[in-house]
DNA sequence: ACCTGAACACCGTTCAAGT
DNA sequence: ACCTGAACACCGTTCAAGT
């Protein structure tokens, strides 16, 4: 009935599944073993240790990113599309997101997003050091957004989600927070993501760069 | 010789200390108890559980943020100063940073940075929803930067720090990454932080906002 | 009020034994 | 080659017992 042989892929898939169902804290070698109906130690025939298993989780998720950016579109559009592709996958695996962002991968799946972004920025005419700095600014922003969206960092709701409308903080100590309570208490993640992304794209567009090739490659 | 009574503060301080010395993974109730020379269960007289202890760590670090921003300076300068204050504290407690950013605090120490930033943005003339969106964009960027700086997320060095100059990735598959290897392999964290910060400040400056009070408050 | 040891239900991983 | 149980050195937390 269950002759399917154990393999690294099956183990990683079980881990991704478990994380999405119960959160990253639920992941343990023993738990995944029972999930797969095998002894704990059987896992170690395919995965050297837990850390490597989590690398596998990150790799598996990263490999599913789907880039749809049009190479003939203006670079601003391409950058937006690439950023949205990252967000897509994070929305698809929200509870894996912290794990994915936390393990830096030096594998094809981990390097591909960087490669594509750098190609876009160089085609846009950015000098090499500028291309890297702009990339890093975008990635920092995207990482911060995604961690907020999946609930890892704060949305600035000053009184936990389930609290009363007035909240429990001292409104006289924090008058601005109180005044803006209505906006702080809710967060349209997609709108906020797009808002900051557009700010960065606009700012990147005015970074001085080589005039030779701006939008169209012209070799 | 050690009559100093146990207290929540002493426990939290020991945790902060241990995290900075050995990393967040080293923190356990048992370890901290031995660190303080008491039985494990003694801790539970002052701290309900480990999660609350980590909240204490975050609170303790946040409470040490020192804001030096000049209320009469242009809002752009104030925003920069506030962002740098956050970075300062993260640099002072690098290994606590993930813990701090990961626990959203609804306490005075946790709300103060938000309060100050919102005051600055409102004085700059941003509408209320804009002020919140701009704040969220800045915070996302800062969170992403700090996590990179403390080693949680990737700097995009395509071949781990200790690797050979050429790296171990396939240069034909990733031509741009290979071409930019020299820039990707090193990361001047302060310079990158400032670079993206300036991009965001410039972009924020052109967000359309109420014309009534721009730089000078005019009641 | 504060401290504590024993106990319970967990961890990751090593090792030696099986097939 | 792959699977496995026992064992070791850890976890967080409950509970009942001490002072």
pLDDT in tens, A35-79: 999 999 999 999 999 999 999 999 999 999 999 888 899 999 999
Classify A8-48 by CATH class: mainly alpha
Backbone angles phi and psi of B174, in degrees to 5: -130, 70
| Spatial CA neighbour of A126 closest among A213, A218, A195 | A213
**Strand D reaches within 7 A of the A3 CB:** no
Tens digit of pLDDT for each residue in B73-95? 999 999 999 999 999 999 999 99
pLDDT value of residue A190 = 98
Chain B residue closest in CA terms to A116: B176
Per CB-CB distance under 8 Å, the chain A contacts of B87 are none
**Strand C reaches within 7 A of the B195 CB:** no
| Spatial CA neighbour of A209 closest among A121, A94, A137 | A121
**Residue A115 is nearest to which of B122, B129, B174, comparing CB atoms?**
B174
- For residue A3, what pLDDT band results from cuts at 50, 70 and 90? low
**Strand C reaches within 7 A of the A173 CB:** no
Which residues of chain B form CATH 1.10.10.60?
8-48
Please give, rounded to a whole number of angstroms, the shortest distance from the CA of A94 to a CA of chain B: 15
A148 in contact with chain B, both atoms CB, cutoff 8 A: yes
B218 in contact with chain A, both atoms CB, cutoff 8 A: no
Which residues of chain A form CATH 1.10.357.10?
68-205
Q: What is the CATH number of domain B68-205?
A: 1.10.357.10
Per CB-CB distance under 8 Å, the chain B contacts of A133 are 191-192, 195-196
B176 in contact with chain A, both atoms CB, cutoff 8 A: yes
- Average pLDDT (B183-205) is 97
A100 in contact with chain B, both atoms CB, cutoff 8 A: no
Per the CB < 8 Å rule, is B174 touching A111? yes
Q: What is the 3-state secondary structure (H, E, C) of chain B?
A: CCCCCCCHHHHHHHHHHHHHHHCHHHCCHHHHHHHHCCCHHHHHHCCCCHHHHHHHHHHHHHCCCCCCCCCCCCHHHHHHHHHHHHHHHHHHCHHHHHHHHHCCCCCHHHHHHHHHHHHHHHHCCCCHHHHHHHHHHHHHHHHHHHHHHCCCCCCCCCCCCCCCCCCCCCCCCCHHHHHCHHHHCCCCHHHHHHHHHHHHHHHHHCCCCCCCCCCCCCC
- Average pLDDT (A193-215) is 84
Mean per-residue pLDDT over chain B, rounded: 92
Q: What is the pTM of this model?
A: 0.94
Per the CB < 8 Å rule, is B176 touching A106? no
Which residues have C-beta within 8 Å of that of residue A205, sequence separation ≥ 6?
Answer: A76
Chain B residue closest in CA terms to A198: B203
């Amino acid at each position: 009935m269950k002759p399917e042989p154990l393999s690294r892929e099956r183990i990683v898939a079980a881990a991704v599944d478990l994380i999405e169902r119960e959160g990253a804290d639920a992941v343990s070698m023993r738990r995944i073993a029972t999930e797969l109906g095998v002894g704990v130690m059987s896992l170690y025939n395919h995965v050297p240790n837990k850390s490597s298993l989590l690398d596998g989780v990150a790799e598996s998720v990263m490999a599913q990113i789907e880039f749809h950016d049009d190479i003939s579109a203006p670079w601003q559009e391409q950058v937006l599309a690439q950023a949205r592709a990252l967000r897509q996958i994070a929305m698809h695996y929200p509870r894996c997101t912290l794990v994915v962002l936390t393990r830096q991968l030096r594998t094809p799946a981990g390097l591909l997003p960087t490669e594509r972004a750098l190609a876009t920025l160089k085609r846009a005419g950015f000098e090499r050091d500028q291309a890297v700095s702009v990339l890093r600014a975008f990635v920092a922003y995207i990482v911060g957004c995604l961690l907020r969206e999946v609930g890892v960092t704060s949305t600035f709701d000053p009184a936990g989600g389930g609290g009363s409308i007035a909240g429990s903080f001292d409104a006289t100590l924090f008058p601005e927070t109180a005044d803006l309570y209505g906006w702080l208490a809710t967060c349209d993640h997609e709108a906020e993501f797009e808002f900051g992304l557009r700010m960065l794209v606009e700012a990147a567009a005015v970074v001085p760069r080589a005039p030779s090739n701006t939008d169209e490659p012209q070799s």
